[in-house]
Amino acid sequence: MFFARIASLSQIGLAVLAPALTPVLASAPAAAQSYPSKPITIVEGFPAGSGLDIIGRIIQGPLEKALGGTIVFDYKSGAGGNVASEYVAKATPDGYTILFGTAGTHGINASLYKKLSFDVEADFTPIGPVVDVPNVLTVNPKIVDAKTVTEFIAILKKQPGKLNYGSSGNGASTHLGFAQFNVAAGIDMVHIPYKGSPPAIQAMLNGETCCQFAQLQTVLGQHKAGTLRLIAMSTSKRVPLLPDIPTIGETLKGFESVTWYGFFGPKGLDAAIVNKINSALKTVLEDKEVVDKLAAIGNGVRYETPEQFKATVKKDRAQWAEVVKKSGATVD
């Protein structure tokens, strides 16, 4: 009788709790089904007009269509993308605040910055990558009149420590890629960080710096105008858009420095929402018009599942840690 009474009370308790539990259990799928019900803010760690922003604008319309919602951009520049990363890491994980991150924010910064207020893996939910972005060794020919990697290295070795290279910010791939090149080429150059690609490129045009690893889409206009010279790609293979420009690896065997852009949510973002955004990204990256627009500025689409993207971040974090160590690069 005693055991029967316990069973009876348990049944009564469950019956009382059931109405309260039902909305909670149903809320996650329902939230994903109704998502998005308001504008999605995509946070960028670099200013308007940067390489990241150019890609964001290309995919904005198609992604809005695929998701059935509105996208707005919020620029939070500074500290190589860390300002934006910290903001998203602390945001409510509801799918309405998304980081447009890079190999810099999630591969490089964990090793380059010693006192981050967030963990680039533990405090984010990987959603999916968007593109692979080639960096290109770019020079102001009025300062460094080199046409090949060999000529470029020879000129710099005659002036050790006297010429500056620019970047889109501490921790960006444009910074660490060149630091990696310094080691591989055996040269000594001073790094000058800027707040994004536009001011970094303007500084090169003004002669404040002689060169940089620029993201290809940000210097195509100057290349066509002849004001800047593209010497070599940092990728392992030549870029189809500019097949006559060699890779750095054709001179410095084994050299490769690549970057990607991708979406991250805060830690705890519901898997159903993650999968919904990832699925929309897949649709966008299979759209021929989008593919053609990205190819026209030298970018290759890159689709991965959230699980694959998580593995990419982990691998890149380890690889860039080695680059930081060998180059001796630091910002703290």
Q: What is the pLDDT of residues 195-208, one digit of tens each?
A: 889 999 999 999 99
pLDDT at 20 > cutoff 90: no
Q: Give the DSSP per-residue string, 156-173.
A: HHTSTTTSEEEESSTTSH
Return the CATH number of the domain spanning residue range 33-132+260-327: 3.40.190.150
Name residue 44's amino acid. E
Beta carbons within 10 angstroms of residue 31's beta carbon: 15
**pTM attached to this predicted model:** 0.84
**Averaged pLDDT, 293-304:** 96
Q: Which residues contact 34 (CB under 8 A, 6 or more apart)?
A: none
Q: Where in the chain is the domain with CATH 3.40.190.10?
A: 134-250
Confidence of residue 29 (pLDDT cuts 50, 70, 90): low
**Averaged pLDDT, 73-89:** 95
Closest to 181 (Cα-Cα) out of 227, 217, 219, 135: 135
pLDDT at 124 > cutoff 70: yes
Tens digits of residue pLDDT in 34-79: 999 999 999 999 999 999 999 999 999 999 999 999 999 999 999 8
Residues in the chain, overall count:
332
| CATH of the structural domain 134-250, one choice from 3.40.50.2300, 3.40.228.10, 3.40.190.10, 3.90.870.10 | 3.40.190.10
Closest to 228 (Cα-Cα) out of 192, 182, 187, 197: 197
By the 10 Å C-beta count (0-12 exposed, 13-18 middle, 19+ buried), 16 is classed as exposed
pLDDT at 183 > cutoff 70: yes
Confidence of residue 332 (pLDDT cuts 50, 70, 90): low
pLDDT of residue 5: 39
pLDDT of residue 10: 43
pLDDT at 287 > cutoff 80: yes
pLDDT of residue 26: 46
Closest to 225 (Cα-Cα) out of 152, 138, 158, 287: 138
Confidence of residue 328 (pLDDT cuts 50, 70, 90): confident
Confidence of residue 235 (pLDDT cuts 50, 70, 90): very high
Q: Where in the chain is the domain with CATH 3.40.190.150?
A: 33-132+260-327
Specify whether the CB–CB gap between 218 and 179 falls below 8 A: no
**Averaged pLDDT, 22-27:** 48
Tens digits of residue pLDDT in 149-169: 999 999 999 988 899 999 998
pLDDT at 264 > cutoff 90: yes
pLDDT of residue 82: 95
